[in-house]
Chain A
Amino acid sequence: EDQVTQSPEALRLQEGESSSLNCSYTVSGLRGLFWYRQDPGKGPEFLFTLYSAGEEKEKERLKATLTKKESFLHITAPKPEDSATYLCAVRYGGATNKLIFGTGTLLAVQP
């Protein structure tokens, strides 16, 4: 079954404590993997798109990496304003070009 699984479901960090969020997928014909940040009551904000294994992208304290089976979102020296839910989505398939979302990781960074 095609699916996207994010772990952990929730993560609590101290300010400055680096960590990683995981997004594993079992689909065929990957066309793109997307990371979003979602604040409570708001729409997801686009962060990164990764297209092929080995690709990496960075933005401020965030770095996304991609392998053939999973993606990691590394958060270096997080600040309280990094607290949010981080969503992963995978686009795959041929003509159908489907997109499925994981359920997200709720990140809380304490000062």
Chain B
Amino acid sequence: DGGITQSPKYLFRKEGQNVTLSCEQNLNHDAMYWYRQDPGQGLRLIYYSQIVNDFQKGDIAEGYSVSREKKESFPLTVTSAQKNPTAFYLCASSTSGPNSGNTIYFGEGSWLTVV
């Protein structure tokens, strides 16, 4: 089935550690995104990529890093510099193009907890 696969579903991080969340899509979408969801807040954009080997910071990029070496993959690293990393992380993708209302499709999410 076509879709977006995130792993792991649950992840625990110790203080000072970096962790990487995986995101793979087989929808042949050019654009990929990472969002963070916290209770009582709307989804906030961390990073996005419109094409391979290119990505842009979103609204809350500090303490995060990404790479886009393949069209299908857009991993997110939560670094030790992220002060409040406990959250639900959502990967998404869409067809690309600045002049359209491209629908964004989401993966099932990853829960990250700092212990």
Q: Is the interface of A mostly helix, strand, loop or mixed?
A: strand
Q: Is the interface of B mostly helix, strand, loop or mixed?
A: loop
The listed residue (A42, A46, A97) touching B103 by CB distance below 8 A is: A46
Instruction: Given A43-B90, A101-B42, A103-B40, answer yes or no on A91-B102 (Cβ-Cβ < 8 Å).
Output: yes
The listed residue (B101, B105, B106, B109) touching A31 by CB distance below 8 A is: B101
B85 → chain A closest CB, angstroms: 18
Q: Which residues of B contact A89 (CB under 8 A)?
A: 43, 104
- Mark contacts of B69-104 with chain A using CB atoms, 8 A cut-off: 1 yes-contact digit, 0 otherwise: 000000000000000000010100000001111111
Q: Which residues of B contact A42 (CB under 8 A)?
A: 108-109
Q: Which residues of A contact B100 (CB under 8 A)?
A: 31-32
A4 to B43, CA, bound (A): 12
On whether the beta carbons of B42 and A100 are closer than 8 Å, the reply is yes
Residue of B nearest to A92 (CB): B101
Cβ of A111 < 8 Å from any Cβ of B? no
Cβ of B107 < 8 Å from any Cβ of A? yes
On whether the beta carbons of A4 and B101 are closer than 8 Å, the reply is no
A27 to B45, CA, bound (A): 18
Q: Which residues of A contact B107 (CB under 8 A)?
A: 43
Give the total of B residues in contact with A, Cβ under 8 Å.
22
Q: Which residues of A contact B102 (CB under 8 A)?
A: 32, 91
A105 to B35, CA, bound (A): 19
Instruction: Given A49-B101, A51-B101, answer yes or no on A44-B106 (Cβ-Cβ < 8 Å).
Output: yes
On whether the beta carbons of A34 and B98 are closer than 8 Å, the reply is no
A45 to B107, CA, bound (A): 9
- Mark contacts of A45-65 with chain B using CB atoms, 8 A cut-off: 1 yes-contact digit, 0 otherwise: 110010100000000000000
A34 to B106, CA, bound (A): 13
Cβ of B41 < 8 Å from any Cβ of A? yes
Q: Which residues of A contact B90 (CB under 8 A)?
A: 43-44
